[in-house]
Amino acid sequence: MQYLHTMVRVSDLDASLRFYCDLLGLEEISRKESDKGRFTLVFLAAPQDRQRAREDRAPMIELTHNWDPEEYSGGRNFGHLAYRVEDIYALCEKLQANGVTINRPPRDGHMAFVRSPDGISIELLQAGDALPAQEPWASMENTGTW
């Protein structure tokens, strides 16, 4: 068995690409437009997975944008996506500076949770050992759910 991808339905493809690519740092690997099916599929990979994604088509996240408007709810029912990051504090600072709520701050220097524009919970895990506790994160309260 081999993990291939996780599919997430998105209501605003531009907002989702800004979140996943511009803010989280994922890269677009491929895109498929279907006029007949009225949808767009965009496959994304983490930078360190780029080569494997191109060669093996895995591991990736598939953003599915149905052209006809739909309302998606229950993002929490999905669970979450998890990514290992080089500097959890720097990424959380970047996300917060761009209007993303840090639902579970990285108080422990190891783990944080944020949500995509469609309510998908994203877990961020510090690569290697946890970073030393650092403000403002160490004393920041949780916001909402993840």
Question: Can you give the pLDDT at residue 40?
Answer: 97
How many independent structural domains does the chain possess? Answer: 2
Looking up tokens 């209501």 gives 11
Q: Shortest CA distance to 33 belongs to which of 56, 10, 60, 67?
A: 67
How confident is the model over 48-70, as pLDDT tens digits?
Answer: 999 999 998 889 999 999 999 88
Contacts of 83 (CB under 8 A, 6+ apart): 24, 46, 122, 123, 124, 125
- Domain for residue 51, yes or no? yes
* Distance separating alpha carbons of residues 92 and 96, to the nearest angstrom: 6
Query: Residue ranges of the alpha helices (H) in 74-118?
Result: 75-78, 88-97
Look up 123 and say whether it is catalytic.
yes
Q: Are residues 85 and 59 in the same domain?
A: no
How confident is the model over 91-139, as pLDDT tens digits?
Answer: 999 999 999 999 999 999 999 999 999 888 899 999 999 999 999 999 9
Catalytic residue among 28, 55, 70, 123: 123
Last residue of some domain: 40, 66, 92?
A: 66
- Domain for residue 82, yes or no? yes
62 annotated ligand binder: yes
Q: Are residues 53 and 105 in the same domain?
A: no
5 annotated ligand binder: no
Last residue of some domain: 43, 66, 89?
A: 66
Looking up tokens 């970073």 gives 131
Residue 42's domain spans which residues? Answer: 5-66
80 annotated ligand binder: yes
Q: Are residues 135 and 80 in the same domain?
A: yes
- Domain for residue 105, yes or no? yes
The model carries a pTM of 0.79
CATH code, domain with 44: 3.10.180.10
